């Protein structure tokens, strides 16, 4: 099962129209664009999908649109997480997971639990979840790091906890996980700028933001990394470096939506409290696109 999540997964945006309604046509086009250009799996309603500002009904509609466009071609991961353990469990039980290959569940945010609290949260989620779980550690958003010892304890104790998306931009922590993980446990990069380095160190791939805009180049870079072909992989990495930096300058997903707007794949609309990318950032993106080959 875990081999489904080797390579490049993409954290899909949720496109919005000017009236802030979900643009399902654009969403389907983005899914097809990624499938046709080498992406390995799809991640639905994560942070990049603005999951905190879409309703339950919209989330179900987004899942339906992506499932229909995908038509069974790629594995799908669904974001179900939060800082209310009971609510996370309730959502798992209420969601039709038949076409979903795993859930991506963020470490509890805002509440700032102890490491034991994080462990007990995911223990409860694991016991309630009928499918595989990818843990998601993103301390820049949660305000609490999930320490490697906690991640590895969960990996060893629960069979359906198969991977971690590590997004702390902390190379030392990645290496601790890679050094001490169970053999079949996946360490997936959530940092686009570090993804290749982590793959070359033994990581399983990436759940990428920028990869959905440049799926052919980015997925090829990761494939080369998984084969240990560092020189060829870094040639692609260096070409993408500037745009990776650009899209995170202001906020995510405003940056990636600005790229998609320039590529005519969707509007740059985001929901408050996020705001669209500034004109200065859009100009940087435009300059990059003029020279990218």
Q: Which residues are identified as catalytic?
A: 136, 165
Per the CB < 8 A criterion, the answer to whether 153 and 125 are in contact is no
Per the CB < 8 A criterion, the answer to whether 266 and 260 are in contact is yes
Give the list of residues 6+ apart from residue 96 with CB closer than 8 angstroms, or none.
none
In 10 A of CB 89, how many CB atoms?
17
Q: What kind and span of H or E run contains 173?
A: helix 171-180
Measure Cα distances from 53 to 83, 104, 175, 271 in Å.
16, 17, 34, 7
Q: Phi and psi dihedrals of 274, rounded to 5?
A: -75, 155
Per the CB < 8 A criterion, the answer to whether 268 and 261 are in contact is yes
């Amino acid at each position: 099962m875990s081999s489904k999540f080797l390579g490049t997964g993409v954290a899909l945006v949720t496109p919005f129209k000017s009236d802030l309604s979900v643009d399902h046509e654009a969403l389907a086009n983005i899914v097809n664009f990624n499938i046709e250009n080498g992406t390995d799996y799809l991640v639905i309603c994560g942070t990049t999908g603005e999951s905190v500002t879409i309703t339950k009904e919209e989330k179900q509609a987004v899942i339906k649109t992506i499932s229909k466009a995908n038509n069974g071609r790629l594995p799908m991961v669904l974001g179900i997480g939060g800082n209310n353990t009971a609510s996370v469990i309730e959502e798992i039980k209420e969601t039709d997971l038949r076409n979903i290959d795993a859930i991506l569940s963020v470490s509890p945010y805002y509440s700032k639990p102890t490491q034991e609290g994080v462990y007990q949260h995911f223990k409860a989620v694991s016991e309630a979840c009928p499918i595989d779980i990818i843990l998601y550690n993103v301390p820049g958003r949660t305000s609490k790091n999930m320490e490697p010892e906690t991640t590895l304890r969960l990996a060893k104790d629960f069979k359906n906890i198969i991977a971690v998306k590590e997004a702390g931009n902390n190379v030392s922590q990645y290496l601790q996980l890679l050094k001490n993980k169970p053999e079949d446990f996946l360490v997936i990069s959530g940092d686009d700028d570090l993804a290749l380095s982590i793959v070359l160190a033994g990581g399983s791939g990436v759940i990428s933001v920028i990869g959905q805009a440049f799926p052919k180049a980015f997925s090829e870079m990761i494939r080369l990394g998984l084969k240990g072909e560092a020189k060829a992989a870094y040639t692609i990495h260096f070409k993408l470096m500037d745009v990776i930096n650009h899209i995170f300058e202001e906020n995510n997903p405003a940056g990636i939506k600005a790229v998609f707007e320039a590529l005519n794949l969707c509007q740059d609309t985001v929901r408050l409290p996020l705001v669209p990318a500034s004109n200065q950032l859009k100009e940087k993106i435009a300059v990059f696109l003029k020279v990218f080959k």
